[in-house]
Structure 1
């Protein structure tokens, strides 16, 4: 059972990494014409902090069978690579944890004690949802625990819970393909009342819209790098494209915003379902996952 969970989570992680790495290419102005033509830029594509932190999530699950907050914070800090594009707040926090700081105090103290409502807890969590495909409620609980290591604002926590729930439901533990409407309904039922949940309700109402740009104008697409400005649109896009990783990527990337993060979330959720794996060529062109990831549990 644990090995099955690991392989589901690893598939989600690979989808997350491709979305992150390819999405990040479109922050480069020279690649804008390729985006408009839906053409991938030259490889290789390097992933960012989204993938690096998601790798820690999977590593801790593989070693502990659940989220161990101390182990997760330690892994985030030990593997923190400044050049991966971390935001200044979390970058400083991880440096202080490496120097012996207490993650509880550090995460609680940012933004005048409100905690961060950024999208970092959500961007990394889809593999955890895939791990708990047989129990979406437990996925949301473990995602909540994981979020607090860096993001303690209600909205950031709700965003992480929503993405984990979506990946768990998309992973189809019972083998029955889920519809986009059922996915969003299930997520809404598992997420506490919040701006994230309100955005997800709007996303559900807009599920029959074909124009992602219009939907992003209503829901947000991560330009403010907050969970409630990122997660509803990303899960709308995932729900619309559960059977096609490529279509989901382009629909998400074309609206702009925090492209690596929205595409990482969509990629992680869609790839959690066996029918939504990334194109093989895209996997080859994406930087390999780090060697410190553990092997599947025996």
Structure 2
């Protein structure tokens, strides 16, 4: 694959992630919550959150270096950190300390949650463009680079596993025709053992279900902001809806929970398959533009 192909795949994934994030964020705010069963879009403009802001840093590091450099990625996260984008309290503090006081990102990430590290869904929410960048030609490389990107903020094994699983899904979506059981089986094979991988295994058994609410009742919907509670359901939706961005969005949003993040993950994976043109044009136009520093245009 050429660098141009990697770039175009990653851009498509990033745009799908941003749209999913921005529209999903509208439903995450109770005072601005249309009735999801009616599938009515919220009033625009739609503003993206920390999911997209951090994904832009992942994208720019890959664009500039072709690989994950943890030092540069940590600095980009800190330099572009906007408190008002909805970051979690721990990451807000970490990025502020890195930017203002030169704190060591390794110490900050490892020290979260009394030294256990974060197992939240933050590393998974931003990583789809990385998987799309590499594609499925070397899935071991995808897993390693995704883990490196996660460790900058999430050192708990489950937080890392969530990022690895989403990156693998985006890589497979971008450069294979796999769907359904075979798609999830490939993801599970290289996802580190633990709750995230167990959840993906459960998702495989639930593929015959047609109602996403039934699947979410077993897999989670991101309500607890953890990778195990978020990633398996997102990949269940993606495995069933890889050819239809709009249907994938509504299946994800319908179940509630951490809607901006679940829709960002699903949007990034599905857009890696359908391309920018597969994201509804009207949705793209109503979504806030990506930041100028990302260099996407």
**Same topology, TM > 0.5:** yes
Q: Which residue of 2 aligns with 1:211?
A: 211
Q: Which residue of 1 aligns with 2:67?
A: 66
Give 1:28 shift: 2.7
What are the residue-to-residue correspondences of 1:266-285 with 2, within 5 Å? Answer: 266-274=266-274, 277-285=278-286
Residues 13, 275 of structure 2: 8 Å contact kept = no
Structure 2 gap segments, 5+ residues each? none
**Aligned residues between the structures:** 293
What are the residue-to-residue correspondences of 1:161-180 with 2, within 5 Å? Answer: 161-172=164-175, 176-180=176-180
Deviation string, structure 1 residues 220-255 (Cα, Å, up to 9, x no partner): 110000000000001101111000000000000010
Secondary structure of the residue aligned to 1:255 is coil
Give 1:29 shift: 2.8
Q: Which residue of 2 aligns with 1:43?
A: 44
Give 1:275 shift: 6.1
Give 1:199 shift: 0.3
Q: Which residue of 2 aligns with 1:109?
A: 111
Residues 34, 41 of structure 1: 8 Å contact kept = no
Q: Which residue of 2 aligns with 1:226?
A: 226
Aligned-partner Cα distance in 2 for 1:275–1:56: 20
Give 1:3 shift: 1.8
Residues 62, 294 of structure 1: 8 Å contact kept = no
Aligned-partner Cα distance in 1 for 2:235–2:51: 16
Residues 242, 275 of structure 1: 8 Å contact kept = no
Give 1:265 shift: 0.3
Q: Does 1:120 align with 2:122?
A: yes
> How large is the Cα RMSD of the aligned pairs?
1.3
TM-score (norm 1): 0.96
TM-score (norm 2): 0.96
Q: Which residue of 1 aligns with 2:133?
A: 131
Residues 34, 42 of structure 2: 8 Å contact kept = no
Aligned-partner Cα distance in 1 for 2:285–2:196: 34
Deviation string, structure 1 residues 49-107 (Cα, Å, up to 9, x no partner): 00000000000001111000000000000000000000000000000111200000110
Aligned-partner Cα distance in 1 for 2:109–2:29: 31
What are the residue-to-residue correspondences of 1:143-162 with 2, within 5 Å? Answer: 143-162=146-165
Higher helix share: 2
Give 1:34 shift: 3.7
Secondary structure of the residue aligned to 1:224 is coil
What are the residue-to-residue correspondences of 1:228-243 with 2, within 5 Å? Answer: 228-243=228-243
Tell me which stretches of 4 or more aligned residues in structure 1 moved more than 6 Å. Answer: none
Aligned-partner Cα distance in 2 for 1:269–1:144: 17
Residues 245, 274 of structure 2: 8 Å contact kept = no
Give 1:4 shift: 1.3
